[in-house]
Structure 1
Amino acid sequence: MEREKRYSAMTEYELRREIATLNEKARKAEQMGMVNEYAVLERKAVMAKAYLLDPNSFKPGEIYEIDGDPGSYFKIDYLNGVFAWGYRLGGTGQEEALPISMLNLKG
């Protein structure tokens, strides 16, 4: 049995292919009403997308809108790999980690 390759070890091409495959599987799961499967596949795609981004594009102390959650913002305290650690504005103030692919870069 072939072990799955970690996203961190994949090339850009492999990551893009993986994201396309996950999106297709998620679409099929959604059509079949498999809500939990859909959520898992969507989360995997978000993680894979994080490895296509440059963590240096995200700065501690900055505030970013959370993708897929309009009006929700996240302030980064620090970065660890492809995860931004910080807290949601207007939230409980509890520290959490989000993949950087969930944060919208200011354009």
Structure 2
Amino acid sequence: MKLERRYSDYSQNELRQEIAQLTEKAQKAEQMGMVNEFAVHERKIIMAKSYMLDPGVFSAGETYRLEGDPAHVFYIQYMNGIFAWGYRKNNNGEKVSVEEEEALPISMLGEKVT
């Protein structure tokens, strides 16, 4: 049995290779109509990309665009590793998250909203 390594233990180059392999697997799964498998690969890609970013770039008390979701932004209450904890807001600044707070991998965050 091969022991899975954590993305936090990967080098930047290993992360790039992993993302390339996962992207290829995701494309194949999508072509074959394997929706669940595609979604798993997509989530792994998001996580691997997060480990390639510097969490120090993101700050609590700031709001960021959400990749692939132009209708919402994300307000960060606090950071924990590669996760930003906070809530989604619509473009009017109203909280729309159902949960009190949610955690998003930082690769899902775009530019800071001023």
Band the TM-score falls in, shorter-chain normalisation: over 0.9
Q: How far apart, in 1, do the equivalents of 2:112 and 2:12 lie? A: 23
The alignment-based identity, stated in percent, is 61
Query: How far, CA to CA, are the matches of 1:51 and 1:86 in structure 2?
Result: 19
CA contact (8 A) 1:65 1:71 kept: no
> Are 1:105 and 2:111 counterparts?
yes
Q: Secondary structure at the match of 2:23?
A: helix
- The residue type equivalent to 2:101 in the other structure is E
Unaligned 5+ runs, structure 1: none
For normalisation by structure 1, the TM-score amounts to 0.94
Cα distance in 1 for residues equivalent to 2:102 and 2:17: 29
Q: Find the counterpart in structure 1 of residue 15 from structure 2.
A: 15
Separation of aligned partners in 2, 1:106 and 1:44: 24
Aligned runs of 1:1-107 on 2, under 5 Å?
A: 1-89=1-89, 90-91=95-96, 92=98, 94-106=100-112
Question: Bigger CA drift: 66-75 or 7-16?
Answer: 66-75
Stretches of structure 2 that go unaligned for 5 or more consecutive residues are 90-94
Equivalent-residue separation in structure 2 for 1:4 and 1:22 (angstroms): 15
- SS of the residue corresponding to residue 69 of structure 2 reads coil
Amino acid corresponding to residue 48 of structure 1 in structure 2: A
Letter in structure 2 aligned against 1:97: A
Give the deviation of 1:93 after TM superposition. 6.0
Give SS of 1:53's match. coil
